[in-house]
Structure 1
Amino acid sequence: MLRYRTLSYEEVGAVAWVTLNRPEVHNAFDSVMIRELHECWRALRDNDDVRVVVLTGAGDKAFCTGLDRTAAAVGEADRPRDIGQRGATPLHLDDPGDLLPPKTAGQLWKPVIAAVNGMACGGAFYLLGEVEFIIAAEHATFFDPHTTYGMAAVFEPMLMLQRMPLGEVMRMTLMGSHERMSARRAYEVGLVQEVVPAAELHEAARRAAEAIASQPPLAVQASVRAVWYAQELGLRQALDVGKTLVQLGTDQDSLAEGQRAFASGRRVDWRLR
């Protein structure tokens, strides 16, 4: 089992639960967490026992509040800083986004579900921008404080623009710390896919994760990759790549498993959302 200083990690069946575990600073990430998340995403690629990942935060106050700005937490005295400008000009920059998101940093195409259990702001969008979907507790809030503190909001709104309408991204970006988006509003604009009472968040994430994990993993992962290709490429390019993904993601073992399930006469106990 993987061991980390800033993350809690647990495997339950085919589901891995990755918990940002710095509740004393609202699960803000320091250099250690940045490295450990990168290592975790990479390790999950190689772990065939895990089919789905749930990402959440410790406690009930915050999912993640971005970069921990306290000097002692961002870097360690005996090693180079993980983030910031390299050299005399601003053209060489190491950004947390190089190491944090599951797709960009980890090249992880297993489904990742975010269970947002409180505040999600600033650098939290590095993570939320690259999960498959988000389930939020009713008390969850979303905001980006960069501009309030004199910093340009750049990567976070770029990622959110893939998940929210332009006007909503602009408002959240420009209002800074002066306004927070509720879980209900986030659901209305498509950022969040389900809102549940806080006490039901874990169960809602578990239910979704186990349902996805019950299906043939190759078909699931190829489907994930196809949707992200469609998000990132032009439509014609994505459709062309899709022809290859259909071949790669539909193997005889998966088809046989699906046929056995269909032929058994047993049907999935579905729920209406």
Structure 2
Amino acid sequence: MPDYKTIRCETEDGVAWVTLNRPEVHNAFDLEMMREVHACWRALREDDEVRAIVLTGEGDKAFCTGLDRGAVSNPDAPKEFGQQRGATPLHANDPVDLLPPKTGAQLWKPVIAAVNGMACGGAFYMLGEVEFIIAAEHATFFDPHTTTGMAAVFEPMLMLQRMPLGEVMRMSLMGAHERLTARRAYEIGLVQEVVPAGELREAAARAAKAIASQPALAVQATVRSVWYAQELGHRQALDVGKTLVQLSIDEDTMAEGQRAFASGRRPEWRLR
């Protein structure tokens, strides 16, 4: 795995831990971080030893607070980010092209977000495309775009896949005037588990290791099928599903599973 300046990526027991590492700016992303996150997704895509991924932020104050406005004000930034390229407005750059694991990098290994503080604005580029979210009790979620005079566009588009319409509208329109608690985010389905801050890593590790222990092809085909169901019409998704079932059938893996079942061996399970 390459060395990064703005993120860390460590692997253990089939699980990659990706940590956004700019705590001095609440893990806000600049151009370098965007490029490194994208490069990391691509590298993990090619690493067959990695079967599950946990995404989190350094420290306990913030998961990610979106775009680092200070970095954008850099005189060199307009040549790289958010500006029109060419004679028409159809070739503007946007971090949505680099940050999301699915549309940005075609990464179909499961990604779990461990949210350890504030998550706002551009953080939803990533949270909108993870498989599920585990949050510390002190985590908060909000989108300040309208308060700063900007339209919230890609963030609510992505979050509509995991939040009810009214909640997306309220979060987008209230801007910096209101934040969702971790508990409220759990109630509306944005977050799947809320734990004390000191237990966040343990909870994420437990889920990631369980997923990583299962056959990779079955897991990744499951991830792809659920996202197809989100992206396609119902009938189209069912048709594609038939192909995914055939692609995911591996005789050796299925035989091993049948032997384990026949032997009476079962994984230890817990109620949630």
CA distance in 1, matches of 2:130, 2:251: 29
Cα distance per residue 1:185-244 (max 9 Å; x no partner): 000000000000000000000000000001000000000000000000000000000000
Tell me the residue number matched to 1:50: 50
Residue 5 (structure 2) pairs with residue 5 (structure 1): yes
Tell me the residue number matched to 2:270: 271
Cα displacement (A) at 1:91: 2.7
Root-mean-square deviation over aligned CA pairs: 1.5
What TM-score do you get using the length of structure 2 for normalisation?
A: 0.97
Matches within 5 A, 1:54-133: 54-71=54-71, 77=76, 80-133=79-132
* Aligned-partner SS, 1:32: helix
Structure 2 counterpart of 1:4, one-letter code: Y
Gaps of 5+ in 2: none
* Aligned-partner SS, 2:69: coil
Tell me the residue number matched to 1:206: 205
Task: Decide which moves more: 247-256 or 9-18.
Answer: 247-256
Tell me the residue number matched to 1:143: 142
Residue 168 (structure 2) pairs with residue 169 (structure 1): yes
**Closer, same or farther: CA 236–131 of 1 in aligned 2, 3 Å:** same
Structure 2 counterpart of 1:91, one-letter code: L
CA distance in 1, matches of 2:77, 2:22: 22
CA distance in 2, matches of 1:185, 1:79: 38
* Aligned-partner SS, 2:205: helix
Cα displacement (A) at 1:78: 9.6
Structure 1 counterpart of 2:151, one-letter code: A
Gaps of 5+ in 1: none
Cα displacement (A) at 1:181: 0.3
Whether the aligned pair in 1 keeps the contact of 2:4 and 2:36 (CA below 8 Å) is yes
Tell me the residue number matched to 2:32: 32
* Aligned-partner SS, 1:94: coil
CA distance in 1, matches of 2:28, 2:19: 12
* Aligned-partner SS, 2:63: strand
Whether the aligned pair in 1 keeps the contact of 2:80 and 2:93 (CA below 8 Å) is no
Cα displacement (A) at 1:260: 2.3
- Provide the identity percentage: 78
What TM-score do you get using the length of structure 1 for normalisation?
A: 0.96
Cα displacement (A) at 1:251: 1.1
Matches within 5 A, 1:234-273: 234-273=233-272
* Aligned-partner SS, 1:8: strand
Tell me the residue number matched to 2:183: 184
Cα displacement (A) at 1:13: 1.1
| Count of matched residue positions in the alignment of Structure 1 and Structure 2 | 272
**Closer, same or farther: CA 210–237 of 1 in aligned 2, 3 Å:** same
**Closer, same or farther: CA 190–157 of 1 in aligned 2, 3 Å:** same
Task: Decide which moves more: 73-82 or 121-130.
Answer: 73-82
Cα distance per residue 1:162-203 (max 9 Å; x no partner): 100000000000000000000000000000000000000000
Whether the aligned pair in 2 keeps the contact of 1:31 and 1:74 (CA below 8 Å) is no
Cα displacement (A) at 1:68: 0.3
Cα displacement (A) at 1:76: 7.7
